[in-house]
Structure 1
């Protein structure tokens, strides 16, 4: 489709008086589109294979669940492997005991934006749209200037852009008075050209070519929600991000929130549907390695989260103390060893049985604590709090002279398969590939080069003081050392509203999206600073006591660093029956976050359908290029 390019080089009068013919205005509007099918005769192909084929999907987040769902509907035999107790990935949740009351918690607040077409399509099929309610406003709270609030008004370009400028107090239309400046690059997203020219430039440097009020008020606060530092974020990825969330979609800035917690609203009903379709779900299991034969993955070997790969480690017995002592067998193999009063040795894996994160010693209890998701274990490795129900994995110990040999207790469970979809996060994918003997070096290198962004923090606190309801339950913030957004859970979910009313309290969740290395401080210091920031954001809570809290620091969001794009793996791999899913993949189609995960899961399923000469499912998308792209 040809587009009519418009430029403006003066202020509000020039933009407001540009005359578009009806056809010209229509031509530049962003539209919902559908990706082309691989086979020209797609509609004539059969829906189901004549002989059921086996698929192993690894990872129970949105990408894995979407892939499994699409394949199960088509008659494939799907086994979904998830290392956590529950499916959901970053949407997963678990119950906590809040001073004697059981309450549902999760990894943090999620907004389900209008342009999440693949995700909303999945929710519609499952009949889950009634579990959501709309949020119309997108406010930003600044530390050093007046708050801004952007309302989801017209979606007609360029009037949607003018509407944002009109609503903003600290920017004006004159901030667009530079047709050769970088602000117009945000409207020219093209997957090939944008990445070829701008992927090697960091977004902070790029934004030096945009008027500073525009950067401070809109660009930087929104870009930070990518969970990447502004100066470590690819300009091309940043332009793609803005295109997807605003300039390239016909649905504006509105989003929905779940009425209840994410497990109740989304994950549990989707899990039940996968089971009803005949899917096998192996939760509390993860992949140890893949077995390749004749250019195909033929077997998937499993283990429990926290188990080491099946290899031995030796340490000096004299180095073992009567309390738990950490040892590293490799950069990824952490274990703890101690000697009891009778001189017997005991060893456990240092990997959390929730998602395999490394646990640390808990000085307060003598046990262990996972800093990522809040799991805690007593001195025997038995879980006492958090999302896991499984104890730390015990290891065999054998004394050999002055040495102590530690042996992993691997399950050895093996799944034979016709296709594999690896839909885990970046750390999980890298670990699987590192422990597998795969033939394609280019693919191995592309996975090795993947990275994760700086860690992010979610801190949910229960306070003993009530607060007046705010206009909306979620706010982006800007200018604070840690706090990047704040969710008022006592306004968000009925269970939390009920708790707040009965206890005359409040429940607040603070998020730090990307914590710089110099700000990775001890937990108590981070909490102290974030509490001070909360007092500035909501002064009426200053002095309120915390009666319960959950603090997690995780590091699993994808890194979008300058220069990463060319070497990033995509949905297809050089191994003919191995496909990937996840929000970290190289994706020319503009999509981000939960939509990218769902879309790539459905794309992986489509590649399997194509391999079996079956009909593909349609994959909807926002407009593939920006409104100022010619041709």
Structure 2
């Protein structure tokens, strides 16, 4: 299989601008990439491969950002692999996979998950196993065999109002639905309440936001990316070992072989415009770095902080767009090491709906080498429990209560864990994922900025392509590199995405009628 392509013959190939001869600088450009998450690493790779002098600055002591990995110790001194939590590497993540192929051309360090079951509070269970890959047959087959899609409820769906779900066009879907929250939209189309937890809440909470806070346009785009717009399917791959060893240590070696300098544990405080279109990057340790160009690839909070401390950066409108960026509600990743195994038939990954605060359960020793080694040595299991979109303000008592509630949910779902002893536990509370709220898209900052040689990248940055989550990070990283390479007359890097519009002509016509019927009167003049 070619790098950047998947099974879907209708995946879109976005060609990069061709080279026009080196111009713009009379020396090898020096670019500082701030942030070593997926976006920053993609940008650094794209630049370094075109012989740009690249320096990466990362505040954490490891690479990968929210997909980073590191080592800690259990109470008995055992070294254990830790990361920020489970991530699904979907087959339609073409641009992320292109990055990983730099060090793993056949992606041998990823392993397929053979099922993606969903279960709700009433014990109803759905699965994406053995579904047809081609839309719309995948959706029809899923609904036909699902326990949560009663036929009488499906007949009540407002087909005209629901048409945008099956006829997504990016960026047009944002004009159509970004003013509505996902929960209201589902109510408007009369989507079956019994199916909502599994069909849409799981998608919504994957963005770390409850449906009432998520833009309906983002929900529709997700449905397009993962289901009705792509034939890659909803099954996915996961790394065979912790993220640092499987993904980022090999990529670090690759970047170093391209003369990239990487500084971890260093926080950038400000970026100031300098002479001849360049910049001065100021670090917390007092070091100043002269740069011809800068890629800002931090999370939303880091970007806001840097811009706030850089009063000469950008203009009023742009700075306001940065200030508007919001983080999604907090979430908890709770990893436990048990002295007993789970039943062998338990899936590697289980998504839940209506079982608050639990959102998913991962059995890490079913696929991750370090967890498998520990479980075999101790005759136990390594599990990870996620709780997304938690209240912003939790008392200490509430914080202590949530892990206990997660364990109670686990014991109900997997009864064999009820009498298992916990030999180690690791809790991570975080609130650093972008919020894709109602009406945010029009104001979201794009890759380009008021400064020609200052570009943005990250999963919270706007790019008018059908991408999400890790793939949005990778895509904006490559695109940020392309934006700079074009200025120097150097060739960029091609991108691939799922189709940019719905695959079915009839549904596209229905969606157009819906847009006309729901447009404000002033928009129809």
Using the size of structure 2 for normalisation, the TM-score is 0.89
Partner of 1:171: 149
CA apart distance, 1:174: 5.5
Matched, 1:483 2:483: no
Distance 1:90 1:192, change over 3 A: closer
RMSD: 2.2
Partner of 1:226: 207
Which aligned segments of 4 or more residues in structure 1 are displaced greater than 4 angstroms? Answer: 43-50, 172-176, 518-521
SS of aligned partner of 1:476: strand
Distance 1:227 1:216 in 2: 15
Matched, 1:207 2:186: yes
Instruction: Check conservation: 1:141, 1:478, Cα contact below 8 A.
Output: yes
Partner of 1:513: 388
Distance 1:184 1:212 in 2: 18
SS of aligned partner of 2:159: coil
Matched, 1:298 2:173: no
Bigger strand fraction: 1
CA apart distance, 1:181: 4.5
CA offsets per residue over residues 210-266 of structure 1, 9 Å max, x none? 232342331222222121111000011111111112211231112101111111100
CA apart distance, 1:92: 1.0
Bigger helix fraction: 2
Instruction: Check conservation: 2:335, 2:426, Cα contact below 8 A.
Output: yes
Matched, 1:413 2:270: no
Matched, 1:57 2:36: no
CA apart distance, 1:470: 2.7
Find the partner of 2:449 among 570, 573, 591: 573
Distance 2:163 2:396 in 1: 39
CA apart distance, 1:36: 4.7
Partner of 1:504: 379
Instruction: Check conservation: 1:110, 1:257, Cα contact below 8 A.
Output: yes
Matched, 1:198 2:177: yes
1:54-203 aligned within 5 A: 54-98=30-74, 99-127=76-104, 129-151=107-129, 153-172=131-150, 175-177=153-155, 178=157, 180-203=159-182
Distance 1:295 1:302, change over 3 A: same
CA offsets per residue over residues 297-320 of structure 1, 9 Å max, x none? 5210111xxxxxxxxxxxxxxxxx
- Any unmatched runs of 5+ in structure 2? 1-7, 513-525
CA apart distance, 1:48: 12
Distance 1:211 1:544 in 2: 38
SS of aligned partner of 1:96: strand
Instruction: Check conservation: 1:83, 1:286, Cα contact below 8 A.
Output: yes
Count residues in correspondence: 493
Instruction: Check conservation: 2:46, 2:492, Cα contact below 8 A.
Output: no
CA apart distance, 1:296: 3.7
Distance 1:146 1:235 in 2: 25
CA apart distance, 1:136: 2.8
Using the size of structure 1 for normalisation, the TM-score is 0.75
Instruction: Check conservation: 1:113, 1:256, Cα contact below 8 A.
Output: yes
Distance 1:518 1:302 in 2: 31
Partner of 1:629: 508
Distance 1:47 1:274 in 2: 24
Instruction: Check conservation: 2:325, 2:444, Cα contact below 8 A.
Output: yes
Distance 1:291 1:79 in 2: 17
Instruction: Check conservation: 2:327, 2:431, Cα contact below 8 A.
Output: yes
CA apart distance, 1:472: 2.2
CA apart distance, 1:521: 5.4
Find the partner of 1:472 among 347, 358, 361: 347
Distance 1:50 1:120, change over 3 A: farther
CA apart distance, 1:412: 1.7
